[in-house]
Amino acid sequence: MRFSMLPTLLSQMFKKPFTNKFPAKYTPSSTTNFLQAVSKGKAKIIPPVETPYGFRGKIEYNKEKCTGCQLCIKVCPCEAIEFKPEEKKIKIYLSRCCFCSQCNDICPFGCLTMSNEFLLADADKYSKDLIVE
Amino acid sequence: MTDTKVLDANSVVKSFKEEFKTKIKESKIEKRSAGIKKIEYYHIWMKIDRSIFKKSIKHLCGIQFPHLAVVSGNDLGKTIELIYHFSLNHGHKNKVVSLNISVEIPKSNPTIETICDYIPGALVTEREKQEMLGVIVKGIPDSRRLFLPNDFPKNVYPWRRDEKGLDKMIRNLHEVKK
Amino acid sequence: MKTQKTTKATYQVPVGPIHPALKEPVMFEFEIDGERIVDVDVSLGHVHRSVEWASRRRNSVQVLYLAERICGICSYCHPIAFARAVENAVGIEVPDRGEYLRIIHGELERMCSHMLWAGVAAHEVGFDSVLFLTWQMREKLLDLTEYLTGNRITKGITMIGGVRRDITKDMFPKIFETLNFFKDNFEKLRHVFLDDKTFKLRCQGAGILTYEDALKLCAVGPTTRASGVKKDVRVDQPYFAYSDLDIDYITPDALTGEINGDVYDRIIQRLLEVKQSIDIMEQTIDKMPSGEIVAEPKIPKLLSTLKKAEGEGIGLHEAPRGEVIHYVKLEAGSDNPYTWKVRAPTYNNILPWIPMLKGEQIADIPIVAASTDPCMSCTNRVTIVDKEKKYMLNKEQLHRKSVEKTRRMMK
């Protein structure tokens, strides 16, 4: 039959769209004005969809437990971790990290965990937000 | 679509040894098992001499037409080792046997005969060996480069570990001058 | 009138390296006479990234993540084949629960890939509403993948000796909910693809690959099973736990009763495989044993075992596109592998393009090339070289030609 998709298409007209309209329903004409309006309370940001448990987002580092064994450096596939010899602690560059969480698995003291933060865009590769130490 | 006979790993090795006697340098049958029921499967590894290479492929096609997966290559210093990965007995559940035939050729005369007249599907993988390892395949129907671009330098073979390898062409992009 | 002794010359049409049908760069050179293709020549290598050479500087655990990024859609099969090759070379035994978990992830990836292919094939014919329908169904699978592994595409779930994450009993309801959604909507998909007149007109009789050609050219995957050759690594060799389950070879005559080896048969083949995957996942969850998920949970110990190990091994897996084979050679005293050879399934499916495309029309190129589901990475423009002038046809124009042919045939 020729019009096999027609029932599906017609029913789609009455359903709510699947897209979650994050951050706003329509694109604001000026981003800075929109953000100022949000801080004053005049506009609202629609939140993003909830991430599931076990989502691999930005890495979190517990500095006290770290002993400087360098096992995480050995196993990182992107060479994103650097050792600081004077302090015996590490420095992680998020611009190179591929979020595989292999360093979490190998750390014998459990210093590294993955949070669920994923809004990490920045203009500068080496800015303060993208270096964890 | 005739059903082929199921060949057992030991009988394959025996038929090769009877035909070629001493030219088969080494052969090994590995047995592994998988799953809770522990059903077994076999891998055959055979090393043969270059002089009987084409005759042994003809012998293999005579026993049963194989499926050629790929040809892999190793640079072992003075020689290049080519390993042909075949598999037999397709169509029979849990009975497929992997046959790996390896040939060593010296770097001073890196030639080997083509098997494209028996197995036409070997063209792609033979062209790859020609450009990556510097092996010359005699009688190949099409000897152009496959993966490397046409302006890649002529005497550089990426998989080699000697002076004809890639060491001079590497640039470490993420390093910065202090 | 002077009689001239001339013949019609054939045109040379280079198609590529940016591909008209899918997302990858492959260079074709067609010789065409009018609108019919007389001869085809294929050349590759436009996204060669020297991955095998890069493995010489990384240890075996880092190579797993390098292998994952060889391809986006088949991002599970390359690390798994590498892990199998290393396990075969060293002699590591994977625990039973780990084998069963590996099957679940493999079949989930197969369903995602076939849904994506179904949408792209429909787009090439010009049937865009089916593209949106299949990709909408695929979103449910990607949500399930994110829930089980932490990410939608680059799963990072493989480890040498098992898997990295377990599937506990409280995760089962979500898996069953997704599988039931697919079982309910499978009839809708089947009705649209197989009963619709558009698909039948375009696809039946196009791009035929005979049984003898498929055997001689060593084709793999659904491309060769649609021509009647019974090659499927899951049924051939007992690996993971497939030998415990009830599976068999699937060829199109299970649905229609005859095998033609054309594009329509390949569509049937892939839809039947989606149904088989749902069945396999249910059997696996039913029979899952308890126990460890990985052979060696302490990774420094695993790395030191691999450093001392010596040997060579091959690892096979049935990816959504065919058989993947990896060869690894390990040397004692070094943590990097000595040699790593990757053979993706599409490399064996390139030579069959030549008999499939001879005799077809130009507008059939996208659908025939897309029916083999090539996976190499990226796309390009088409240059048509006429006798005197050169003009470029970009991807939209070639796609439009394919859609116009559909409209002509529907009249």
3-state secondary structure chain B: CCCCCCCCHHHHHHHHHHHHHHHEEEEEEEEEEECCCCEEEEEEEEEECHHHHHHHHHHHHHHCCCEEEEEEEEECCCEEEEEEEEEECCCCCCCCEEEEEEEEEECCCCEEECCCCCCHHHHHHHHHHHHHHCCEEECCCCCCCCCCCCCCCCCCCCCCCCCCCCHHHCCCCCCCCC
Contact in structure between B74 and C338 (CB atoms under 8 Å) = yes
Which CATH superfamily includes the segment(s) B9-169?
A: NADH:ubiquinone oxidoreductase Nqo5 subunit (3.30.460.80)
Domain identity same for C400 and C363: yes
The answer to whether residues C215 and C266 belong to one domain is yes
Closest Cβ–Cβ partner in C88, C244, C351 for B35: C244
Whole-number mean pLDDT of chain B?
84
CB-facing half-sphere around the CA of B170: CA atoms within 13 A: 11
pLDDT band at residue C112 using 50, 70 and 90 as cut-offs: very high
Mean pLDDT calculated for residue range A84-90: 90
Beta strands in A39-79 (DSSP E): 59-61
Nearest CA-CA distance, residue A105 and chain C, Å? 8
* Domain count along chain C: 2
Indicate the residue among C330, C347, C364 that finishes a domain: C347
Distance, in Å, from the CA atom of B173 to the CA atom of B171, rounded to the nearest integer, reads 6
Q: Are residues A36 and A64 in the same domain?
A: no
When mean pLDDT is compared over A18-32, C282-296, C386-400, the highest value belongs to: C282-296
Using the beta-carbon criterion (under 8 Å), do C325 and B158 form an inter-chain contact? no
Q: Is position C365 within any domain? A: yes
User: Which residues in chain B are closer than 8 Å to C249, comparing Cβ atoms?
Assistant: 91
Contact check, Cβ <8 Å, C129/A9:
yes
Whether C330 maps to a domain, the answer reads: yes
Residue C252 lies in a domain: yes
Domain range enclosing A128: 59-132
Residue A113: inside a domain, yes or no? yes
Angstrom distance (rounded) from CA C349 to CA B68: 12
Q: What is the pLDDT of residues A31-62, one digit of tens each?
A: 888 888 888 888 788 888 888 888 888 999 99
**Could you report the per-residue pLDDT of B112-125, keeping only the tens digit for each?**
999 989 998 888 88
Query: Which residue of A100, A101, A109 to mutate against C (max C Cβ within 10 Å)?
Result: A100
On whether both C383 and C260 belong to a single domain, the answer is: no
Q: Do C299 and A8 touch (CB under 8 A)?
A: no
**Does a structural domain hold residue A115?**
yes
Same domain, C63 and C43: no
Q: Which amino acid is at B52?
A: I
- What pLDDT, on the 0 to 100 scale, is given for residue B24? 79
State residue C111's pLDDT score: 92
The tokens describing C42, both together, are 């294929």
Cis preceding linkage at A47, omega within 30: no
Are C88 and C209 found together in one domain? yes
Angstroms from C404 CA to nearest CA on chain B: 34
Q: What is the pLDDT of residue C107?
A: 92
Looking at CA atoms only, how far is residue C134 from chain B in angstroms?
A: 32
Q: Does the residue C127 lie in any domain?
A: yes
ipTM of the complex: 0.91
CA–CA distance from A124 to each of A120, B165, C72, C336, C392 (Å)?
11, 37, 27, 34, 39
C102: pLDDT strictly greater than 80 = yes
Residues A66 and A128 in one domain: yes
Task: Kindly state whether residues C370 and C318 are assigned to the same domain.
Answer: no
Residues C253 and C283 in one domain: yes
pLDDT the model gives residue C3: 58
Q: Is C300 within 8 Å of A106 when comparing Cβ atoms?
A: yes
Same structural domain, C233 and C376: no
With respect to residue C267, please indicate whether it lies within any of the assigned structural domains: yes
User: Has residue A128 been placed in a domain?
Assistant: yes
Q: Which chains touch C (3+ CB pairs under 8 A)?
A: A, B
Picking from A5, A74, A79 by the largest number of C CB atoms within 10 A of its own CB, the best residue to mutate is A5
pLDDT, tens digit (0-9, with 9 covering 90-100), for C44-66:
777 777 788 888 888 889 999 98
Helix (H) or strand (E) holding C57: none
Q: Are residues C328 and C221 in the same domain?
A: yes
CATH code (residue A106): 3.30.70.3270
* Alpha-carbon distance values, A132 to A11, A85, A110, A115, C185 (Å): 49, 16, 16, 13, 46
Kind of pairing between the strands at B111-113 and B136-138? parallel
Q: How confident is the model at residue C382 (pLDDT cuts 50, 70, 90)?
A: very low
Q: Which residues from C are below 8 Å from A18, CB to CB?
A: 136, 139
- Tell me if C266 is assigned to some domain: yes
Does residue C43 or residue C324 have the better pLDDT? C324
Per the CB < 8 Å rule, is A74 touching C66? no
Cβ pair C159, C294 in contact under 8 A: yes
Q: pLDDT tens digits for C138-157?
A: 998 999 999 998 888 888 89
User: Which residue segment(s) compose the domain that C175 sits in?
Assistant: 51-347
Taking each helix axis from N to C end, the angle separating B9-20 and B53-63, rounded to the nearest 10 degrees, works out to 140
The verdict on A75 and A121 lying in the same domain is yes
Same domain, A123 and A66: yes
CATH number for the domain spanning C199: value is 1.10.645.10
Same domain? C184 vs C75:
yes
Residue C2 belongs to a domain: no
pLDDT at C228 over 90: no
Rounded to a whole number, what is the distance in Å from the CA of C17 to chain A's nearest CA?
A: 29
Interchain proximity C129–A101, CB inside 8 Å? no
The amino acid at B120: P
Is residue C4 situated within a structural domain? no
Task: Say yes or no: C294 and C390 in one domain.
Answer: no
In sequence order, which residues have a C-beta less than 8 Å from that of residue C97 and are 6 or more positions away? C166, C288, C289, C290, C291, C292, C293
Per-residue pLDDT at C376: 55
Number of domains in chain A: 2
Separation CA C24–CA B11 (nearest Å): 44
What token pair was written down for C31? 């010789």
Q: How many cross-chain Cβ pairs, B to C, lie less than 8 Å apart?
A: 121
Q: Which of C220, C341, C342, C354 to mutate to test the interface with B (most CBs of B within 10 A)?
A: C341
Q: CB distance A5–C192 less than 8 Å?
A: yes
Mean pLDDT, range B13-19, rounded to an integer: 84
Return the H-helix or E-strand segment holding A17. none
Mean pLDDT computed over C278-303: 90
Contact between chains at A77 and C65 (C-beta distance less than 8 A) = yes
C185 vs A: CB within 8 A: no
Q: Do both C259 and C389 map to the same domain?
A: no
Residues in C closer than 8 angstroms to A55, CB to CB, are: 146, 150-151
* Cβ–Cβ under 8 Å, residues A61 and A132: yes
